Amino acid sequence: MQPGCTMLQPPQPPTFDYVSTNMFELEAVSVQKLKSIVVEHDGTGAGAGWFCKEILVKESKDSKSEYIFRCDRWLDEGQDDKLIKRELVLTEKRKIKENDWHVYVTTGDDEKASLAGPVTLFVYGEKEHKEVNLNPVHEKGFSASSIEDFRINVGDIGKFSKVRIGHKNPSKENSWHLKSLQLVDKNSSTVHNFEVNRWLSPEEDDLDVWREFPIAQEGKKPANVIKYYIQVFTAVKLILTLSATSL
């Protein structure tokens, strides 16, 4: 790596793991209008290849705007164009609104894991809940091994208590395998990670197309996920016919 580069090292392994969001604070002289950045790695170690989706830069943790640098390419000496250093040009500068969140949805790598249609996400707060439709802009659904990201606004629903994700088109063709779900608060940088690794399918696993996960609030333990056993009793309605003769 060139002299003058700043090393970004996550505090705990694994470093830059599959489908992860790593955050860093960097002190530097202001560059005024940010137009491009350079990202690279030293290429050492087994499995050093890295797929960079995007890099977001804020001028402070509480800043209400962010610079987005899209990459969506490998930095790998064995894949793509074999480069491990890339210059990323500014994709866009976005305003951050109150209650803005970034959602990352990762589909499993099984060949049958894809989902053709949209996904529905319910976010439950202390005050109310918000239903959000997640549909990739390319309209190709959720392909196997893909990572789709969405920017959503949940409104003032209070502190999160749980999330629920699923799809409304249960069929043999829509056997979706959800690998992971990640929610990132655009204002506070709070991250909620959910390692799912479950089928949402009428053909696989427990045949359910919805999954629900608790969210731990600061200083509190998350609610337990338990299995409820439900019995439904259907009554038998007898229809009595009475034949009588009037005298």
Number of domains into which the chain is organized = 2
Whether residue 154 is found in the same domain as residue 216: yes
* pLDDT higher than threshold 80 for residue 4: no
Whether residue 55 is found in the same domain as residue 143: no
* pLDDT higher than threshold 60 for residue 243: no
Confirm whether 227 is domain-assigned: no
* pLDDT higher than threshold 80 for residue 219: no
- The residue among 44, 75, 96 that closes a domain is 96
Tens of pLDDT, residue by residue over 51-92, are 888 888 888 777 888 889 988 888 888 888 888 889 999 998
* pLDDT higher than threshold 90 for residue 205: no
Confirm whether 247 is domain-assigned: no
Whether residue 161 is found in the same domain as residue 121: yes
* pLDDT higher than threshold 80 for residue 26: no
Q: How confident is the model at residue 242 (pLDDT cuts 50, 70, 90)?
A: low
Whether residue 21 is found in the same domain as residue 115: no
Confirm whether 37 is domain-assigned: yes
Beta strand extents in the chain (DSSP E only): 36-40, 50-57, 65-75, 85-89, 92-95, 100-107, 119-125, 129-134, 147-153, 160-166, 176-185, 191-200, 210-214
DSSP letters along 130-172, please?
EEEEE--TTSS-B-TT-EEEEEEE--S--SEEEEEEE-S--SG
Confirm whether 158 is domain-assigned: yes
The pLDDT of residue 46: 66
Rounded to an integer, the average pLDDT of 227-238 is: 76
- CATH number, domain of 135, equals 2.60.60.20
- The residue among 66, 96, 126 that closes a domain is 96
Whether residue 214 is found in the same domain as residue 183: yes
For residue 52, the tally of other CB atoms under 10 A from its CB is 17
Whether residue 6 is found in the same domain as residue 81: yes
Whether residue 88 is found in the same domain as residue 46: yes
The pLDDT of residue 25: 76
Question: Lowest-confidence range among 20-24, 31-35, 145-149, 215-219?
Answer: 20-24
Whether residue 111 is found in the same domain as residue 146: yes
Q: How confident is the model at residue 199 (pLDDT cuts 50, 70, 90)?
A: very high
Dihedral (CA of 17, 18, 21, 25) sign: positive
Confirm whether 239 is domain-assigned: no
pLDDT higher at 36 or 18: 36
| Residue span of the structural domain in which 102 resides | 97-221
Q: Which residue reads 């009428």 in tokens?
A: 202
Confirm whether 246 is domain-assigned: no
Q: How confident is the model at residue 15 (pLDDT cuts 50, 70, 90)?
A: low
* pLDDT higher than threshold 90 for residue 197: yes
Q: Is 223 helix (H, G, I), strand (E, B) or coil?
A: coil
Whether residue 64 is found in the same domain as residue 137: no
Mean confidence (pLDDT) of the chain: 83
Whether residue 126 is found in the same domain as residue 200: yes
The pLDDT of residue 105: 93
- The residue among 96, 127, 162 that closes a domain is 96
Closest residue by Cα to residue 165 from 143, 197, 134, 204? 134
Whether residue 117 is found in the same domain as residue 216: yes
Confirm whether 182 is domain-assigned: yes
Whether residue 91 is found in the same domain as residue 122: no
The separation between CA 4 and the C-alpha centre of its own chain, rounded to angstroms, equals 34
